[in-house]
């Protein structure tokens, strides 16, 4: 067992000693077998939440209605979820009912893909009821049971299939893919936020390019958030090629790359961003950077200064877009050589100008400051008290 799991072993053992079963389940088992870093450790148990709370002194009800209790042990929190089944998905998205069960196989059966349906015992033994190990070695995503049934129950699983194929660089097994093609329209019923999460993880995956092409082949685009016609299959194919070279490191880059290159008018872009229900921060970054992406050669000091906050996102996006090394170097150099990075760094502030009797409060002062900021950023005026004083005096003379 890797170290992340050894520390949880005593917790599993304690549950076992109380007469219940407990296993590591879900993504952590998959990632251990693949020797990949683990995000979160999920533990499943035959014990009901009330029973878990009797076994351990310190617990927190983190999600008791779904059967999850957090056990605190030696300063660590471990989420323990009671084995459960989910039944009758009448709205294609959420189970109407969660039922606690005592059988591990019932719990594993409700999971989406064979590679996500392993259980791992405290002694290191892997339980594999659905031949997930074979799928891992074939490097493919395959639904547990009948793919059509599973995607009908929960359409989000189709996005998850694409997401895992992108993260792991796995193929999607034939029958699973056919089901995805057939049931794609059900995606339209899934909450945008949930699609957004999977789509974002997909675009950050090592095989995001191939996953986007699965999405095209599966004709899923019409059922994704966004207005029909803005993003096209050709556009997706272009982004797929770009992602083949480099992976976006942040969510801001994902969305700047994905929507910022559409060259939409500001209102349309904001509408598209809203349809994806993106955060205010992401919306601001994409809206700010989008106009620059159309012509990287034209990016000057002023543009770089104005978008200093989003500079890393800008550079990452331009690199993924395949912008030439010369152009990237030029922008980097201009950024490094900026005399100031914000108005606060100007050697004289508006208040200083007023105190020195160089300006009076009012709209003209705002105009002076803006002209000054621009002149300093463009290197036309040195950022010193003396040079700024001369510049402001000239401006005032010109106005009077």
Residue 234 CB partners (closer than 8 Å, separation 6+)? none
Residue 131 CB partners (closer than 8 Å, separation 6+)? 114
- CA 269 to mean position of chain CA atoms: 19
Instruction: Give the range of 37-45, 97-105, 137-145, 379-387 binding Mg ion by CB under 5 A.
Output: 37-45
- In the bound state with Mg ion, the residue whose beta carbon lies nearer, of 27 and 260, is 27
CA of 388: how far to CAs of 338, 346, 349, 359, in Å? 17, 9, 10, 12
Q: Is 205 annotated as a binding residue?
A: no
Main-chain phi, psi angles of 120, to 5 degrees: -125, 125
Q: Is 102 annotated as a binding residue?
A: no
- In the bound state with Mg ion, the residue whose beta carbon lies nearer, of 40 and 149, is 40
Specify the pairing of strand 42-45 against strand 76-82: parallel
Instruction: Give the range of 62-70, 71-79, 109-117, 223-231 binding ligand ATP by CB under 6 A.
Output: 109-117
Which residue number is nearest to ligand ATP in terms of Cβ?
27
- Residue 274 binds which of Mg ion, ligand ATP, none (CB < 5-8 A, kind-dependent): none
- In the bound state with Mg ion, the residue whose beta carbon lies nearer, of 201 and 307, is 201
Q: Is 27 annotated as a binding residue?
A: yes
- Residue 218 binds which of Mg ion, ligand ATP, none (CB < 5-8 A, kind-dependent): none
C-alpha 24/C-alpha 118 separation (Å) is 8
Q: What number of helices (H) and strands (E) belong to the chain?
A: 21, 11
- Residue 157 binds which of ligand ATP, Mg ion, none (CB < 5-8 A, kind-dependent): ligand ATP
Instruction: Give the range of 33-41, 133-141, 225-233, 269-277 binding Mg ion by CB under 5 A.
Output: 33-41
Based on the shown chain and the rule CB under 6 A, indicate whether residue 136 belongs to the binding site for ligand ATP.
Answer: no
Is residue 117 classed as helix, strand or coil in its secondary structure?
A: coil
DSSP result, 196-219: HHHHHHHHTSTTHHHHHHHHHHTT
CB 166 within 8 A of CB 247: no
Based on the shown chain and the rule CB under 6 A, indicate whether residue 205 belongs to the binding site for ligand ATP.
Answer: no
- Residue 210 binds which of Mg ion, ligand ATP, none (CB < 5-8 A, kind-dependent): none
- In the bound state with Mg ion, the residue whose beta carbon lies nearer, of 114 and 285, is 114
Q: Is 110 annotated as a binding residue?
A: no
Residues that bind ligand ATP (CB under 6 A): 26-27, 39-40, 42, 111-112, 116-117, 154, 156-157
Residue list, annotated binding site for CTP: 27, 30, 111, 154, 157, 160, 163
């Amino acid at each position: 067992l890797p170290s992340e799991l050894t520390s949880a072993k005593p917790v599993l053992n304690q549950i076992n000693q109380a007469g219940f079963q407990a296993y590591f389940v879900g993504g952590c088992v998959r990632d251990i077998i693949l020797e990949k870093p683990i995000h979160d450790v999920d533990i499943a148990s035959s014990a009901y939440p009330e029973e878990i709370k009797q076994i351990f002194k310190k617990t927190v009800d983190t999600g008791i209605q779904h059967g999850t209790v957090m056990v605190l042990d030696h300063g660590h929190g471990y989420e323990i979820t009671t084995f459960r089944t989910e039944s009758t998905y009448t709205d294609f998205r959420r189970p109407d009912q969660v039922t606690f069960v005592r059988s591990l196989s019932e719990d594993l059966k409700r999971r989406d893909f064979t590679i996500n349906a392993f259980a791992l015992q405290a002694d290191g033994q892997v339980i594999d009821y659905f031949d997930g190990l074979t799928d891992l070695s074939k490097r493919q995503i395959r639904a547990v049971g009948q793919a059509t049934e599973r995607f009908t129950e929960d359409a989000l699983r189709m996005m998850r299939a694409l997401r895992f194929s992108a993260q792991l660089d796995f193929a999607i097994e034939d029958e699973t893919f056919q089901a995805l093609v057939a049931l794609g329209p059900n995606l339209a019923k899934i909450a945008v936020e949930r699609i957004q999460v999977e789509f974002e993880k997909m675009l950050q995956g090592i095989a995001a390019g191939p996953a986007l092409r699965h999405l095209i082949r599966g004709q899923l685009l019409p059922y994704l958030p966004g207005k029909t016609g803005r993003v096209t299959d050709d556009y997706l194919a272009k982004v797929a090629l770009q992602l083949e070279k480099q992976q976006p490191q942040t969510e801001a880059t994902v969305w700047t790359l994905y929507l910022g290159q559409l060259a939409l008018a500001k209102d349309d872009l904001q509408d598209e961003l809203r349809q994806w229900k993106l955060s205010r921060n992401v919306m601001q970054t994409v809206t700010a950077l989008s106009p620059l992406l159309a012509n990287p050669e034209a990016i000057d000091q002023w543009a770089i200064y104005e978008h200093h906050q989003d500079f890393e996102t800008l550079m990452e996006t331009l690199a993924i877009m395949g912008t030439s090394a010369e152009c990237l170097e030029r922008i980097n150099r201009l950024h490094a050589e900026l005399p100031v990075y914000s108005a606060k760094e100007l050697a004289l502030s508006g208040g200083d100008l007023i105190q020195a009797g160089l300006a009076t409060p009012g709209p003209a002062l705002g105009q002076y400051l803006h002209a000054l900021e621009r002149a300093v950023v463009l290197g036309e005026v040195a950022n010193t008290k003396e040079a700024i004083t001369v510049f402001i005096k000239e401006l005032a003379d010109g106005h009077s």
